[in-house]
A and B are shown apart, each in its own frame.
Chain A
Amino acid sequence: MSVKADPNWEPKILAFCCNWCTYTGADLAGLNRMKYPANVRVVRLPCSSRVNPQFILRAFQKGCDGVMVCGCHPGDCHYATGNYFTRRRFMLMKRLLEYNGIDPQRFQARWISGSEAAKFRDTVTRVAGEIKALGPNTRFQEKWYEEGGEAQ
């Protein structure tokens, strides 16, 4: 790996959260003043099924080190069946990413309800830790190819 080891490096993690469960859960974590690492940036969407696999590829391509897709628990979807589609889509997506050399830990789908503030905190903390341990993501990245680097 030609990426220079930076002791202050912090991973950037993108979390797609559904408005009705996980985004609410994340808000509740705030209301309860829970603390978690500042690596995660949340994108608010109506439903986890709104997440197009293209968004995830784009995130990795643009330099994200990890991506999370979070929604209501299966069976509790605000839109009745949306997260069943999310689940099927991302089982497939995870395998595609793995096939392309992205560590499966960099992409996580999680079900966090509006009341599970602690679960949001714990999930974010764990995922941030795991991705920090993995180091920067270099697959797919435009910058990486532009700088003349070779794939891992």
Chain B
Amino acid sequence: MSRIGVVVCHCGTNIAGVVDVERVAAEAAKLPNVVFAVTNKYTCSEPGQATMKAAIEEHQLDRLVICSCSPRMHEATFRRMLKDTRINPYMLEIANLREQCAWVHTDKEKATEKAIDLMRMAVAKVEQNKPLFTSTIPIHKKCLIIGGGIAGIQAALDVADAGYQVTIVEREPSIGGHMVMLDKTFPTLDCSACISTPKMVDVGQHPNITLMTSSEVVNVGGYVGSFEVTIKQKARYVDHTKCTGCGLCETKCPTKVPSEFNQGYNKRTAIYKPFAQAVPAKPVIDPDSCKMLKEGKCGVCAKVCPLGCIDFKDTAKEYTETYGAIIVATGYDLIPWQDLYGEYGGGRYADVITGLQFERLVNASGPTEGHILRPSDGTEPKDVVIIKCVGSRDPHKGKSYCSRACCMYSAKHAHQILEKLPGANVYIFYMDVRTPGKGYEEFYDRTRADGAVYIRGRVSKIYKENGKLVCKGEDTLLGKPVSVQADMVVLATAMVPAVGVEKLTTMLGIATDPDKWVQEAHPKLRPVETQTGGIFLAGTCQGPKDIPDTVAQASAAAVKVCGLFSKDEMETSPMISGVDQQKCCGCGFCVNCCPYKAISLVEIDAREGARRVKKTVASVNSGLCQGCGCCTAACRTGAIDLSGYTNAQILKEVDALCL
């Protein structure tokens, strides 16, 4: 027999002014198993709590119903109070008589009737409550960062500086990402490599950072505090423990292929570092172009290497390690505009280039040593057209979102062209100019003062005529068609999530939005967290943003990780799902609907009569389960139930209302 106590709170006159609290308490006293029912002026106050504690002892209560304000207000308070009494904190139910009764009704009789119903429901529910106990999970203070762009670099440095171990996984042979490919950054015109490469070096030299380049995450298991992550490092064919990065091999390699880093505008060798300041500053062999690996002939690099670092028999290696937290910083790629914009030549015209290609052309260490030259014939362009929103804000062809950085880098491109090519003309076709950032609007004004011509409208077609690229469009401010003869066209193409991010998000069990950007837990208040505990976001994997925002978000994610790592173990809520393996038929319906991938099918030994049999049943990972209860409604045998909101509890509540 349970011994239930009911306390009805006046809340001053907040409740008592509308609800007849004495009548509610009197009705409660009539209910079976209710051995104590009183009213109290202010239940949540110190004296109120003291009275309840005394009553719990005096009447040997084993469960408690408090009819007061919303449980969202004081459930935690009352649970804390119960911690040092004989009642388990989860043997408590709260009837919401204030927010959902007294404050919203004026008819005293009806409000009191409703209050009695709510009290009865809470009493019926509390009878079914079972003591629950919070458990703790250990936290492995090691952070995995996926992606080695500026977001990953910043987050890694912040976490490592706080004294925690960090591993960066980068699929390219060097960290640096897109930022290191850029020439200058808006609006200050800082040299991008000059401000990012020192950070790369810091990462390479930091005692707390392990760098895994040419690597990808291939499997993720576990949960916050202890994620089991398998990382696959591709074969590099160069022993980086011995290599000093002297670069002799690169000078002798006979195979030349287009350089990815320079957007194909010059060549690299088959054994290569992506760029001069690469971190690690050691080469790898590209197996797709190396003659030795493809045809078994050559081996020049192995012959010239003074330390014998070349190993053509190198294979991919897999490492499995435990991490307490993961930061996703996978960044972006540019939309494949060639497939979408046939009217812009679809890639047929060499002089129609992307903003990123322009960055390499204008960069002093780029293929043209910083001279702006047409890719087709190496001459200086005189008339340059910049087209914004190629793929952005265009739901019919590309994406409906704004890529955020293009307005500013297009202004920067215009500024650079006007500066480097005196007498050149720059025409910028735009839909709107968006400059929300410190110093951004001023930079845009300066570019217009430099002489850039802004034309409001979109280009509908680019075609070649007499060696010129004719851009036909409309000036929507004049309401007239316009046609500009250009030598070079720069497209501000949309950012899209990095290739392969879907595979990763599936592995991590985190959500993406319809455009495949990783979904944050709350757009305003939890912008760097995901729905899955212990997995955080940094940079453009979450949505298009510029460098300052990326760096800010990376530091924010790092703080979240440090906060998590500041404790040795983490308390978990006991209100999670559990499976009755006797009842479970192993259908797996719950597995499919769980938003957290917390349920898996496992094989157990069971008894069937006298025989021992193998049986497949569902099993809930208590570290991953967040207690939504979605699985419980999917279970056809009623084997899975949610502690704190069990089927029995809810059905009793329903019954109590309808008595």
Contact = CB atoms under 8 A, between A and B. Distances in A.
A85 B657 contact: no
A30 B626 CA distance: 28
Interface stretch (B210-218, B314-322, B428-436, B642-650): B642-650
Contacts of B113: 38
Contacts of B104: 29-30, 33-36, 121
A44 B103 contact: no
B651 A55 contact: yes
Contacts of A53: 633
Contacts of A36: 104-105
A81 B595 contact: yes
A30 B100 contact: yes
Contacts of B118: 41
Interface string B624-635: 001111101110
Contacts of B632: 50, 52
A30 B70 contact: yes
B458 interface: no
Contacts of B653: 43
Nearest to B102: A30
B511 A80 contact: yes
Contact of A50 (B629, B654, B657): B629
A49 B100 contact: no
B204 interface: no
A50 B645 contact: yes
B482 to A, nearest CB: 41
Nearest to A88: B593
B657 A45 contact: no
Contacts of B647: 52, 54
B529 interface: no
Interface in B607-646: 626-630, 632-634, 642, 645
Given A26-B99, A41-B118, A49 B628 contact: yes
A52 B645 CA distance: 12
Contacts of B531: 79-80
A103 interface: no
B71 interface: yes
Interface in A58-85: 58-59, 62-64, 77-82, 85
B72 A49 contact: no
Nearest to B103: A30
A14 interface: yes
Contact of B633 (A10, A27, A52, A64): A52
Given A55-B654, A81-B595, A42 B96 contact: yes
B645 A46 contact: yes
A42 B70 CA distance: 11
Interface range for B: 35 or more
B121 A50 contact: no
A10 B113 CA distance: 11
Contacts of A52: 632-633, 647, 650
Contacts of B628: 46-47, 49-50, 78-79, 82
Contacts of B121: 41, 43
A38 B645 contact: no
B645 A45 contact: yes
B114 interface: yes
A138 interface: no
A59 B118 CA distance: 15
Nearest to A51: B633
A34 B104 CA distance: 5
Given A31-B99, A33-B103, A50-B642, A45 B629 contact: yes
A82 B630 contact: yes
A46 B642 CA distance: 10
A19 interface: yes
B658 A12 contact: yes
A89 B629 CA distance: 14
A79 B96 contact: no
Contacts of A41: 114, 117-118, 121, 657
Contacts of A49: 593, 628-630, 633
Contact of B111 (A12, A38, A44, A45): A38
A64 B658 CA distance: 6
Given A27-B100, A46-B575, A55-B650, A38 B658 contact: no
A27 B70 contact: yes
A16 to B, nearest CB: 8
A59 B111 contact: no
B72 A50 contact: no
B379 interface: no
Contact of B654 (A14, A24, A30, A89): A14
Contacts of A81: 511, 593, 595, 630
A79 B630 contact: yes
A41 B657 CA distance: 8
Interface string B83-115: 000000000000010111101111100110110
B655 interface: yes
B226 interface: no
B485 interface: no
A130 B575 CA distance: 36
A106 to B, nearest CB: 14
Most chain A beta-carbon contacts within 10 A, residue among B100, B519, B659? B100
B630 A50 contact: yes
A58 B114 CA distance: 20
Nearest to A61: B658
B398 to A, nearest CB: 22
Contacts of B645: 45-46, 50
A23 interface: yes
B105 A64 contact: no
Given A50-B630, A79-B531, A38 B103 contact: no
Contacts of B654: 14, 43, 55, 58-59, 62, 64
Nearest to B657: A41
A12 B657 CA distance: 8
A26 B105 CA distance: 13
Contacts of A45: 629, 645, 650
Interface in B366-400: none
A85 B635 CA distance: 13
A63 B656 CA distance: 11
A64 B656 CA distance: 11
B449 to A, nearest CB: 44
Contacts of B114: 38, 41
Contacts of A44: 71, 96
6 contacts: A12-B657, A29-B99, A46-B629, A52-B647, A62-B655, A62-B658
In order of increasing CB-CB distance, the 4 nearest A-B pairs are A30-B99, A50-B629, A62-B658, A79-B628
Given A38-B113, A51-B633, 11 more contacts: A12-B657, A27-B70, A27-B72, A27-B96, A27-B99, A31-B99, A35-B106, A47-B629, A49-B628, A62-B654, A63-B658
